[in-house]
Amino acid sequence: MRILSFRGSPRAIGRAFGESCRAQMLELYALRLASTIEHARRHARRELDERAVLDVARACLEPTRAYHPAGYEELEGLAEGSGMSLPRVLALNGLTDLRDVVTWSRAPDREGCTSFIARGDVTRDGRTIYAQTWDLLTDNGPYVLAVHRRPDDGPATWSFTTVGCLSLIGLNEEGIAVGTTNLKTLDGRPGVIYLSVLHRALACRSYEDAARAVTEAPRAGAHYFFVGCRDERACGIECSATEATRVELREGTRVQTNHCLVPANHAKQAALSPNSSSSSHARLARARELLASAAGRLDVATAKRILSDRANGEDAILREDYNDTTTNGAVVMLPGRRELWACGGLPDRAEWVELVRASP
């Protein structure tokens, strides 16, 4: 997996990132724009063009700037370095949010992720473990990478993400860990895209500040976020665009896939057909089963095996080009030991890298 390292001001980091990935950013943007237009045509019976998508992206710019000026400056730097317009860079970063806003579609996301937190006696040494797959369109796979940021003002961070994008799943030098899975509710709106939320949370030096970065964001769309820290505290935050429910995990496990588990969010969740939502429910049940069977001896190796599980075929935790969806990477983190293991590609085949040690 490619690892890039940048230091300096947020704008300088973004500019260097954009310059190093200019061609790939343009390619990934074209792929994501095409998938958004096709999604609208297939599921919402709506014909979109690039201008309609970019109109929503432009409406997200001011909320993003006000919410996290440093992250906004990095997006500006990415635009300068890549030669892309700022709305295109934001659209590249905010695929799932913008797609939901422009289509108001009731169709489920075939893409999705499986995440879990394990804390206390269920782990081998009592350390809290955070793990998740990153599943999206198969053609996004070549654009996965890791980024080590060393900003002038703020903690150093390590993140698993894609070319030209802010933090997706990551850990910072203060021991703050963040990750996400996608949800779909019907209250999407122009606002702060989920990568900006994660990027600001990862820039925090305290657990409470990181959790508030999620709950207080004027989010564009629905997502589940997890937040952890060095002293083993952990929470899952299930969000629609307009509501956030924070659940502290004091012992045991919490699994989240791609449907709402908090009752308050059910009314906002898009209506999904039983066949279409089977993957999210099957992955949730399978991950819970595997975690229960590993109780008391869960460690990094076991977490990697759970993320590599192929049981249930199309509805497996690890998916390989099912309905154009692939597990394009995976992450296991132990903030208490400042460890972040990541792989770009199928987690049962790709090389796992310990990013904190491997980063230049």
* Mean pLDDT (whole number) for 78-82: 98
Distances (CA, A) of 165 to 29, 148, 297, 314, 354: 11, 13, 35, 28, 21
Residue 226 — very low, low, confident or very high, per pLDDT cuts 50/70/90?
very high
Phi, psi angles (nearest 5°) of residue 150:
-125, 80
For 204, the 3-state DSSP assignment is coil
Q: Per residue in 108-140, pLDDT tens?
A: 556 679 999 999 999 999 999 999 999 988 999
Please, which pLDDT band fits residue 272 given cuts at 50, 70 and 90? very low
Give the containing element (helix H, strand E) for 131. Answer: strand 129-137
pLDDT for the residue 274 = 40
Calculate Rg over the CA atoms of the chain. 18
Residue 246's Cβ-count burial label (10 Å; 0-12, 13-18, 19+) is middle
Please give the backbone phi and psi of residue 221, each rounded to the nearest 5 degrees, phi first.
-145, 180
Q: Is-contact 143 162, C-beta < 8 A?
A: yes
More confident residue, 279 or 303: 303
How does residue 46 score in pLDDT terms, banded at 50, 70 and 90?
Answer: confident
Q: What's the pTM? A: 0.95
Mean pLDDT of the chain: 93
User: What is the tens place of the pLDDT at every residue in 229-254?
Assistant: 999 999 999 999 999 999 999 999 99
Which residues are CB-neighbours of 290 under 8 A, at least 6 positions away?
Answer: 306, 309
Can you tell me the distance from the alpha carbon of 197 to that of 216, in angstroms, rounded to the nearest whole number?
10
